Amino acid sequence: MNPHLCAYLRKGTLTQWYNKYTKNYRDALAHRIPPYVPPATLNDEQQRRFEYLEQEIRRLVGKGDFERSEVRRDEQESLGRSNPLFVHSFSEEAIPVYLHPQLIADFMTVEELLKTAIANFYCESQNEE
């Protein structure tokens, strides 16, 4: 194998990216956890309002008042803010990851890896000539 490619593949930042991030999150998603990003993050006040609305919706549905229950459901869905984070476990000291910047960084890393591999790839037989 090309020594430049070997050195690149053993580079600390690439190895660290693979060991601490890529393998950890890939294994979790591939083998244990279906990918899911919560639709919103609620603060304490919003959480209390969400729970109140949930009780109200159940009460209204129990009375057959579906129109008003839908209004409450709409309010409930409007609570919170977008959640751009992902974490694969709360019990394994996993580090939350911001999805958009991480996707961009991963794409750029893979692109660099492919370009380096292509630029440094050669067959052993060609090298001997």
DSSP 93: T
What's the confidence (pLDDT) of residue 36? Answer: 63
Contacts 24+ apart (CB under 8 A), 83-91: 83/37, 83/38, 83/39, 83/40, 83/41, 85/37, 86/37, 88/24, 88/25, 88/28, 88/29, 88/32, 88/33, 89/28, 89/33
Tens-digit pLDDT profile for the chain (129 aa)? Answer: 688 888 888 888 888 888 877 887 777 777 776 666 677 889 999 999 999 999 999 999 999 999 999 999 999 999 999 878 777 776 777 777 888 888 898 899 899 989 988 888 765 545 554
Q: Per-domain residue ranges for the chain?
A: 1-38+87-129, 39-82
Write down the pLDDT at residue 94: 73
Confidence (pTM): 0.56
> Taking Cα atoms as reference points, which of 76, 70, 98, 73 lies closest to residue 85?
98
- What is residue 82's predicted lDDT score, i.e. its pLDDT? 85
SS3 state at 21? helix
